[in-house]
Each structure stands twice: as structure tokens, then as C-alpha cells.
Amino acid sequence: MSEEFNWLEYAEPEESAPAPSPRRGLSRFLPRLPRRPRIFRTLRLSFRPRLPGLLRLPRLPRLRRGAQPAPKQSSAADLLGTQDERPLEELDDRLQMLRERSAASLRSEAESRQALYDVDEVLTAPEILDKPGGVISAAALSKAQQQQVELLKDIVGGGAAQANEVSGGRIRLGAPAFSLSAIPRIVGTAVLLLLVSLPFASSDFSEGGLPPAEFQEDRHGATTLYNLLDNLTTDDYVLVAFEYGPAAAGELDSIAELFLRHIVAQGAKPLIVSSNAIAIARARNIIGGINRSVAFSGNELVHLRDYAILRYLPGGSLGLRELSENFADVARVSYKGELTGLEFESLDDMTHIVLIAERAEDMRHWAEQVVTQVERTRLLAASAYAASPLAQIYANSMDEIVGLLVGYRDAYTYGQKLDDDFGALLPASDAPVNEPVSPNRALGGAESQAEGAGAMVEPSPPTEPPPPTVAPLPTTTPRPTNTASPTATALPTATATEESIRVVEVISPEQVRIRRGPTRADDILRLALAGDLFAVIGTNGDGSWYNIALSDGLEGWIAAFLVEEKTLTVAEFLAGGGEASARNPGERVYLRREIIASLGKNRPRYYQARGPIGGDIPEYVLLRDRSAEVPRLEAMTLGTLGAVVIIAGGNVLYALGALRRRRREADIE
Amino acid sequence: MGRGGLSVFVAFIVGAIAIVSLLLGDNPALFGAGAGSEELARRLTLPGDVLLRLVVIVIALSVVIGIVNLLYVHIGRLARGKFYSAVLLASFAVTIAWTVLNKGDASLLEAVQVPIESALAALLFPSLALGGARVMQKRADVWGLLFVAVVLIVLLGSLPLAELAPVQAFSDWLMAVPVNAGARAILLGIALGAAVAGVRALLGQDRAYRG
Amino acid sequence: MDDTTVQVYSVLFIAITVVLVVTARYFQARRGRRMQRQLAGMDQIPQWLMQSIETGKPLHLAFGGAGVGGDNTPAALAAAEFFHHVIQNADASDMPPLVTMSAPATLPLGQGALRRAWRKGNTLSRAQWTPPDLAYAGAVSASVADDEPAAHIMAGSFGAELALMLDSADRRGQPSLAVSDRLDGGAVAYALADHALIGEELFAAPSAISTDEGGRADAAALDVWRGLIILGAAVLLLLEFSKQLPLLSWQLALGAAAVLIALGLIFSRRR
């Protein structure tokens, strides 16, 4: 707004005199005229239409630049707005006659629009539009002027605000239902739709590579996030914040579902919470989807037993403040208003807080209102692609925030990782349907049984085939890191218990680290204690590191000087080995917390503990239909390509048009 | 004191209490060591917390006002023969009846609301793409060009195509440095604006609540 | 940063804001100077009002998700103030503006603005609440077809769903001005709206269309605040550089900062 421009006082000074002319009241009943078409403004033509008959329109209020504040001046508001509806009988005879005449001249009653809102009876506007030529003909343009007008119209480009433009001397009210200008829009939408649908129809349109099966090396946050969730146990509660609505659901539903499946598979209990009411419906939908996928095994998740959806938190960041300060109260009531039976003292009773955020603001609210209020609990964050640049800043700058996972591509990697790590536990699609999974095969060796009876209960046999999986199964997936060989197949499938295998026993009195690779710079997968036995897969070049088989289908590396190599029969191995930390959940929890306390932003934070250890954990919850994943990723790629082409093409055309217009303008000048 | 004056007075008092309470409360360190400072900090925190809880309750209750407004508006429109208002009112009645009869079962809401909103979300894609194609129609200047260029580079950078690796690197830099800086600057500006708006509200300069 | 530091900074921040606002108001009253810079699209609003008056079509004023009580309360207040000034001048029309919002707590704000300016008729039905985000965008798009607003002024809190509303407005040739306190909404507004304000211009908009001298002073205070922050950032940056380059002294850094600021001022004047 320019300094000198004040449009509040735009009335003409001569009209602002307090003249109680009859026109003042009448102006309400005059027909509504369209705004002066842009062409006239451009031409600066004096556009003063005259009504046929008695009345003259009041002058249109004219904008005046540079007017100084003059509060005494009457504005259009003063002239018109303070009027109440005048009863008919108050009008003088002349006006009443005029009204009757104009009403009679209406072609149809239907055309007398009732535009006054909530007013039952008004004076009907005299219909001037039916007169051939209408108001516009009053301007009486010559042919030369008409041509000029057409040229100017072309220059102005028929942009916005021309819906009511003059056509054929009549004023058209409202936009046409369909016009040719809609064609590019329809074509563009059709092209986008086609591109997005193609990958679902045929596999010939596979553009671009799939996301990696492991998070990239430099993405410490993402790997740590996975490992922290992978480290949950049956006594853990995880607060899962669904902070996204339907607009981001396509992008974030997958990651939310994977988080829930992972948490439940570990035996921990997710408590779902949201400051977005619609997100609660989404959470219910996702749980419904998980339940449908595990229905065949009878391991459906039950509200308040396996998970809980807490009450909605109104008030945005205020709601989150309430959550962090009065978590005990919030956790007592479910979204349905029933009591959850959950007794907590504070948010610190949560092992982790998981946030799935659509917007950077959500991340900010959680970082400011929640993370600052907890002492120990960490915030594991995932966000939509659009929010990631700002959300990443929070993840980088606050030690308490771990992450960030971004969008659907990271969800794919997370899911792939989950399948790789747990895949051996699950029935393979090529395995006979009714054949229970062999614990030996499942756990990549004998280690599982060494852990004791309840360590890894085989899942009950499925009664119907698991959903088809398109993505390669773990047994055939090449592991991307330096763990070179597929886990399950690389290990001795110890069907004969007398077969000898090469094992190592931890001899160090201290906790020792099992790493992802044969160097001290590699990620720590987990810890081991003296006496733990591991099957050996191989060694590195100089024999300073052993490549060993871990439970859960994992493998790792351990430094040779910490262990003693032995050769045992499988039976001996099964009977003699074991990990104290795994046998004793309390100790295991202690181990984990110790590691968490030492996590820092600047050093590797990778470690991984064991998989599920309880006997009642529905691992089947990890079985999911992945058939749509790859086409979806391809559809994303093709759709983005389509958008790029449309945006680039459209803008090039409009830019050329603008250049041409400017040249013509310059020519006219 | 007129109604407006009373509103301003209430706003000022409540705002001042909330600010003092939230800024100074809950941190005994501000008041030196000793048991007295803790007690002082606790007492200072209390009014702010109470006010915030009241706000949360009011916000939750305001949904009721919204629903009343929605019904009022659409009953009015129905009287003017608007068909879709009839649909809205009918679905409102059916949803309420279903939920009451099924003791709080919200499955109808989920079965209808979620797909419809998802469909709307899907519409966003062509809307944004086609809208992006018209930027130069509205802003045929260097800023419009810059905007389109950044959009295209970021879109191309998000594609998992090996041929586009240089674009991806450039896009990453673009997002991490200039875009990030710009976004922070805008957020900073908004925060400053919010602070000034807050001071205006406290000083009673806003007509919004002056009645 | 520990709690105490945060609290001290917060108190300082609020104190400086109050001092700036009061000072700007003092100078405004004393010198009577107009201290506000120009905002895009503001000169269109009177034309839209005229169009609304002459065609009997309502203006559409949208708060979006800006809600009282939430963290975008200031945005809601600023938008309400903005709309108040717009509506003040729309009451010459026989169609009251249509005010929509998706935060129910904003309903009284919108209705209050309507009622103050539009003392006749029933304003309740012209302020409409719809559930948030996409449902809101859908409802507004339907309203665009149904009520055929003369123009749209969308000021408040919007996300990507703004695209749906602006697209349907654009399709029907209805002009629009949009500003959002959210980044995604701001980007969509820039791409699709006829006129877009950016970020904090939402808070300067009310005074840009009113004669409210105090509001202009507040907007000026906002500009000064921003200038101070830019100055601070520039000084810190240069000091950081001066540490790395021994040739640069702090005097030089300050001098360079002054030059930068002068350039910034000249540039902003031109704008």
C-alpha cells in the first residue's frame, strides 16, 4: 500500500456533500452493474452508462491516490451501507409506479435474483439487461474503437476478473460451465493420471531405481532410529504421535504402519496420541489394516491390550504442553472416553516417543513443548518430504531427537530392513504353507535354542497363505553392507545335531561389542558378555575379526582377541551357549539404557539388541502385503516426471506469451 | 467502561498474568537459591498453567459452536433450495444416529471421511502441478522464473534416476542452504509479526475483540 | 541453552518488542509520518470491493486454520483485523462478505468483524465454520461455485490445501489475494494466487488498508525489529569472518555491516 494512497476516502468531494437526495436511498434498488471492464480502465474511457428512463446511476466511486485522511467525507459505506430496507409503502407514488413497470417488463420471474441475503422482500431491480445492447451499447463504441478494444483485450490476455465480461452486448452473469480454456487443464490432469496409473497396470514402466535396502552410511539418525525401535522389549511403552492428516497420508501411512508393526513385534505397546482429530481416524484405519493382515493367525491386536489410542489433544501446541505436563491424566483416558488402566507418572515412563509429522511446525511443537519437558526419553522422528528441510534442522541440533526418516522412500528402506532382519522368522512365500518355520533355519543357527525355551517361539502355523510379497525375500536379498552373504542360507542348517561347527566363545570379562563390519569404526550392532557362544561364518583377511551369526537372522563381526575359537557339535553348542543379557530381561534393559545414555550426536550411535524374546509376541504382525510398494514408487517417479514436464512446458508457453504481449505493448506505445 | 473497554481490560490482565507466569515461573534459579525461591517459582507457574488449561477446554468446546454454526448455515441454505445442504444435514443426522446407536462406534465416519479426504488429497497433485504450470502467467518476471526454476530443480532432484545425479547434488545443496535460509527468514519474520500482534492485542489495539 | 537463558531471552524479546511498538507509535503521533512500506495486491482490494458492490456478489474472506488459542493466534488476530478493515468498506454492498474458517474458535472473531461493520441482516450465516484442512478446502471450493464470490482474500493459516481453493477460484476467474503463516501455504499462495503476501506481511496488512495510524506504527516497528535482527546477524557473521582472517578488525566488520545495512535500506526503499 503506498503511503499516499488511501482508498477509504474515495468519494468525490462534490458528492460527499450531505445531500439528502432521493438517489441516496434509491441507489439500493438500482440494478447491479458489472465492474468496468478492464479494457475501459486501460483506455481510461469515461464510462458513465446512462439508464434508459428517468434514473441516472450515481457516479461510480472513483479511487483517488494521494487523498489525505478526511474523516468527515462520506464514503460509499456512508452513502449506502447505513440504509435499512425501506418498506414499500414508504416509497412515493412515482417510485412505486416505476417499480411496477419494471417488474412487469421482466421476461421471467426466475431471473429476478434474490441477491439480498436473508431479506424476504425487496424491490425488484428493473431489468435493463434484456434491452438489446444493454448498458454497454450506451457506451456506443465506434467500429474503430471496437477494434481497438479487441486488440487491448488480446493484450490484457483475458485473465482473471473477466468472468463477467461483455459478450454480444449482454452481460453474462456467472462463469460458463465449460469453456475451451479448460482443455489444457483436463489434458494435463489426464496425462498425470495416466502416468501415475501405468506402473500399476504393467511392469514395463519401471523408471528409476528402488530405494536402498539400508539407510545410507551417512544417515546415522535413520539407522539409530531403526535400532532403537528394534531394541524394545515387552515391558516398554512407546508414545506414537500421529501428526498428519489425509493430505500427507499417502506419504506417511506406510512409515506409521511400519513403526506400529515393529513396536508390536518387539512386544512393546504403542500408545497413540495426536493433536489432530482426523489423525486418530487414520491411526484406527492403520491398525485395522494390520489386523486384517494378521487375521489368519488369530493374533489380532486388541485395543487397550496390545495398543492404546489416547484422547485427542486439542489446542495445538497447548495440547502438547498439557501432554507433557499432565501425561498421567492424558494416558488414563482413551479416545473413546473409556479408562485405559494405564498408570504413568510422566512422559519419562515412555521408552521412546515416535513422531510422524506432516509439517515442520509439528516437529517444532513437539521439540519445544515435549522434548524440553522430558529428561531421558528420546523423540524418534519421521516427516513428510516437504517438511524435511526444517525438520532435519531440529533432528541435527537437538540431541534428544533421533532421525529423520523422510517420506515414502525411507519407509520402503525401513520396511526392507525390517524384512531383512525379521524375514528369517517369517514363513517364506516359496515354503510350503503349512510347514512351520524351523527354529534352526529361522534363527540362522543354533543360537536361539541356546537362549532357553522361551527365547524364540516359533509362530503358530498359518492357516492360509501369507499375503504375496513382491519384494525379494531376505533369503535371496543381497545384503548391501559388508555382511556379504545372505544370512539364513549362509549358516549351517543344523539338521544333524552331531555335525561339528566352528564357534567362538567370548572370553573378555567386559562387555564386548559386536559390529557391523570388521573395523572399530563400524556400527555397533549389540553387546555380548563372557561365555556367549556364536557360530562362525568366516573371518576377515588377517584373521583379526570373526564374522559371526547372531540371532534374528543377523550377522556381525567380533574382534578375535576378545574370543576363543572352538569346535563343537551342534548339540553341545545348543546346550552350552547363551547370553546372560538375553535370559534376564532386567539386565537387558539395563544394558540398553546404558548405551542410550552414552549416545551422542557426534559419534556413531549404532547398536542393535536382540529381536523379540517373549513367548507371546505375534511376529506375524510383520507380515504385510508389499505388492503395491514397487509400483507405487514407480508411480511416484513417473508422476513427478509428468509434473516436471507440465510445469516446465506451461511456464515456457506463458513466458513466451508474456514476452509477445510486452512487445506488442511496446509497439503500441 | 464500555464493552470494548472491558474486553481490553480483561485481555490485558489475563495476558499479563500469563506472560509473567510462563516467562518467570517454573525456574527457581531465577530467584536465587533457597526453599523460598522454589515456592515462589511454583506459585508463579500456577496461574499460567490454569489459564492454559482453560484455553484448552475453551478450544475443545468451541467445536460445539462450530457445529451449531454449520447446522445453522446449512439449514438456511436448505431453505433456499440448496441440494448439497440437504445432503450435509442428512449425513450429519445419520452419523450422529449411527454413533449413538452403536455406542460410540465411529466406523461410519472412518469409512466415509477417510476415503473422501484421501480423494481430496489426491486432487492436490494435479492442482499443484497445473497451478505450478501457470506461475509465469501471473508473475512473468525474474522472481517467477526463479520460483519455477527452484521447483523444477527440486522435483528433478527427488527423482531416483542415476542420470540426474548432478541435479540431485545441486538440489540437496539448494534445499540445505538457500531454501533453508529463506525459510528460516520467513519464519523469523512471522515470529516477529506474531510478537508485535501479541503486543497490539495486549495494548488493546486490535478491534478483533474490542466489541 | 538452559531454562534460565531461554527465559531471559524471552523477556528481552518481549521487552524490546514493547519498546519498539511504543516508540514507533510515539514518532508516528508526533511527526504524523506514514512509515509503512508497500504491500503487493493491496491496491486491488478497493477494486474488488467495488466489483462486489456492483455485482452483488460477496467477497470471500478466509481465515483458514488460524485459530484463537492455538499457536497461530496472532495470525488469527491479524487476519481478523485485516478483514475488519476490508468489511468496513464492503458494507456498501448488498451482499455481506462470506467469512470462512476451519478453527471453530475463530468463529466469534469472524462474526464479530462482520457484525461490527455489517449491522444489518443476519451475520451468523455469513461466517462459516468447516472442519479443518482438506474438508475446509473442499467446502470453500464448493462455495466458490455456489456463491460465486467477487474475489477471495485468504489471510491466516493455510497449507497445501490452499491449492484446491485457489485453483477453483482461478478456474472461475475470481481474483485472489493469499497469505499464510505456514511455509507450504505461502509457497502455494505465491504460485497460484493473483497476489501473494509473504510471511510477516500478514501482520502488516491490516494497517496497509486502513487509516489506523497506530497500526502503521506497529508495522514500522516490525520492520525495525527485522532490521535489527539482520544487523545483528550481519555483525555476528562479519565478526566470525574477522576471526578467521586476521587482517579484518572489528571496526572493519562494523563498517562492512553498516554498508550492508545501508544497501539493504536503499533496496527496501526502492521496493
pLDDT for res A201: 86
pLDDT for res A178: 56
Dist. CA C63–CA B133, nearest whole Å:
26
Q: What is the ipTM of this complex?
A: 0.86
> Domains of chain A: which residue ranges?
20-62+72-171, 220-425, 490-599
> Domains of chain C: which residue ranges?
3-33+214-270, 42-210
Least confident of A97-111, A502-516, A556-570, C1-15: A97-111
C-alpha cell at A98: 416505476
Does the pLDDT of residue A572 top 70, yes or no? yes
C-alpha cell at A280: 486418530
CA angle, corner B174, sides to A633 and A366, nearest 5?
70
Residue type at B136?
M
Interface size, chain A vs chain C, as Cβ–Cβ contacts under 8 Å: 141
pLDDT for res A410: 94
Q: Do B195 and C14 touch (CB under 8 A)?
A: yes
C-alpha cell at C98: 462470506
Helix, strand, or coil here: A166?
A: strand
Chain A residues in contact with C165 by the CB 8 A cut-off are none
Return mean pLDDT, chain B. 84
Q: Do B29 and C3 touch (CB under 8 A)?
A: yes
Put simply, the chain C residues between 201 and 240 with a CB less than 8 A from any chain B CB are: 202-204, 214-215, 218, 221-222, 225-226, 229
What lies within 8 Å, CB to CB, of C26 at 6+ separation is: none
Greater confidence (B42 vs C268) lies with: B42
CA count, 13 A, side-chain hemisphere, C110: 35
Helix, strand, or coil here: B21?
A: helix
Q: Which of A63, A317, A359 sits opposite C184 (nearest CB)?
A: A359
Dist. CA A283–CA A306, nearest whole Å:
14
Tell me which of C200, C201, C224, C271 to substitute to probe the interface with B (most B C-beta atoms closer than 10 Å): C200
pLDDT for res A257: 95
Q: Do B128 and C3 touch (CB under 8 A)?
A: no
pLDDT for res A150: 61
Q: Do C203 and B197 touch (CB under 8 A)?
A: yes
Model confidence over A583-599: pLDDT tens digits? 333 333 222 322 332 33
Tell me how far apart the terminal alpha carbons of chain B are, to the nearest angstrom.
12
Q: Which fold has domain A220-425?
A: Rossmann fold (3.40.50)
Query: Which residues, listed in sequence order, are joined to residue A357 by a DSSP beta bridge?
Result: A243, A383
As a whole number, mean pLDDT of residues B57-62 equals 85
Does the pLDDT of residue B146 top 50, yes or no? yes
Least confident of A490-499, A560-569, B180-189: A490-499
Among the ranges A174-188, A295-309, A433-447, which has the highest mean pLDDT value?
Answer: A295-309
Confidence of residue A403 (pLDDT cuts 50, 70, 90): confident
Does the pLDDT of residue B169 top 80, yes or no? yes
Confidence of residue A516 (pLDDT cuts 50, 70, 90): confident
Q: Which fold has domain A490-599?
A: SH3 type barrels. (2.30.30)
pLDDT for res A334: 92
pLDDT for res C36: 64
Provide the percentage of residues in chain A whose pLDDT is more than 90: 19
Least confident of A106-110, A261-265, B145-149: A106-110
Does the pLDDT of residue C195 top 70, yes or no? yes
Does the pLDDT of residue B88 top 70, yes or no? yes
pLDDT for res A371: 92
Does the pLDDT of residue C243 top 60, yes or no? yes
Dist. CA A340–CA A352, nearest whole Å:
19
Confidence of residue A86 (pLDDT cuts 50, 70, 90): low
Chain A residues in contact with C36 by the CB 8 A cut-off are 1, 3
Residue type at A210?
L
pLDDT for res C76: 92
DSSP annotation string for C142-178: HHHHHT--SEEEEEEE--TTHHHHHHHHHHTT--EEE
Return mean pLDDT, chain C. 83
As a whole number, mean pLDDT of residues B153-163 equals 90
Among A614, A615, A610, smallest CA distance to A422 is for: A610
Least confident of A501-510, B67-76, B134-143, C153-162: A501-510
What are the Cα distances from residue A659, in Å, to A155, A607, B134, B136? 11, 60, 15, 11
C-alpha cell at A466: 501369507
Length of chain A in residues, anyone?
Answer: 669
pLDDT for res A423: 58
Residue type at A182?
A
Interface size, chain A vs chain B, as Cβ–Cβ contacts under 8 Å: 143
Least confident of A338-352, C3-17, C86-100: C86-100
Dist. CA B191–CA C229, nearest whole Å:
12
Provide the percentage of residues in chain B whose pLDDT is more than 90: 22
Contact A503, A535 (CB under 8 A): yes
Tell me which of A183, A644, A651 to substitute to probe the interface with B (most B C-beta atoms closer than 10 Å): A651
Least confident of A73-77, A288-292, C256-260: A73-77
Q: Which fold has domain C42-210?
A: Rossmann fold (3.40.50)
Tell me which of A193, A654, A662 to substitute to probe the interface with B (most B C-beta atoms closer than 10 Å): A654
Helix, strand, or coil here: A641?
A: helix
Chain A residues in contact with B157 by the CB 8 A cut-off are none
